[in-house]
Amino acid sequence: MKKLSVADKDYLLSTIRDVKDFPKPGILFKDITTLLNDKKAFKFLMDHLEDRYKDENLDFIVGIESRGFILGAALASKLDLPFVPVRKPHKLPYITISQKYSLEYGVDEIEMHVDAFRDLKDPRVLLVDDLIATGGTAIAACDLIANVGANLVEACFLIDLLELGGSKNLKTRYQIYSILEV
C-alpha cells in the first residue's frame, strides 16, 4: 500500500489550521475544516487514499462520528463501496450493537447498526477517522468491527498525535496507517 512523500505530507499539513485552547485551555486543536475547504488539498488527499486502498478488495468503509464521516463517505464514493457510520449512543435509528471504552474519567460508548455489513461472511473493512489521540474511540471502533466477525484490513487516520500514544496502543492489535504524524 502506498504512502506519501515528506513533501506531500508537508503540503497537507500546511492546509490544517491549529487552534489554541480549543475546546478547552491547553489544547492545540487540529482543525481539518481548512483542508476540506481547499479543493486541491482535499482532492489530493482523497486521490491518495483511493490509490492506497483500490486494490485491497474492500467490502465496506467505516467512519467514526463525526469527521470520520466526511473522509470515510468521500472515500467510499471514490471506491464505489458502501459506507457504515459508527456513532455515539442513541443516534442511529435502527437496532444497534455497541462497544464501551474507558476515558480518563469515566466510560463512553459507540454504536453501529446490527446489519451494517449485511450478513456478509468475513467482510473486508477499512476504518477511517480524522485523528487518533489517546486511541479510546479508535480501539473501541476496531473492536466493534472485529466483534461482528468482520476483517478489519486497516484503521486509517489523517492525523496521529504521537505524544498521546493512541496509535502505539492500537498497533498492538490492529494494522493502522496514519497519513500525518505530529
Mean pLDDT by 10 residues, the chain (182 residues): 93 97 92 98 98 98 96 98 97 96 85 93 97 95 95 98 95 97 95
**Cβ(78)–Cβ(51) below 8 Å:** no
Q: What pLDDT, on the 0 to 100 scale, is given for residue 135?
A: 94
Q: What pLDDT, on the 0 to 100 scale, is given for residue 102?
A: 85
CATH of domain 57-181: 3.40.50.2020
In this prediction the pTM is 0.95
Q: What pLDDT, on the 0 to 100 scale, is given for residue 119?
A: 83
Domain spans of the chain, in order of start: 57-181
Q: What pLDDT, on the 0 to 100 scale, is given for residue 103?
A: 76
* Residues marked as catalytic: 67, 104
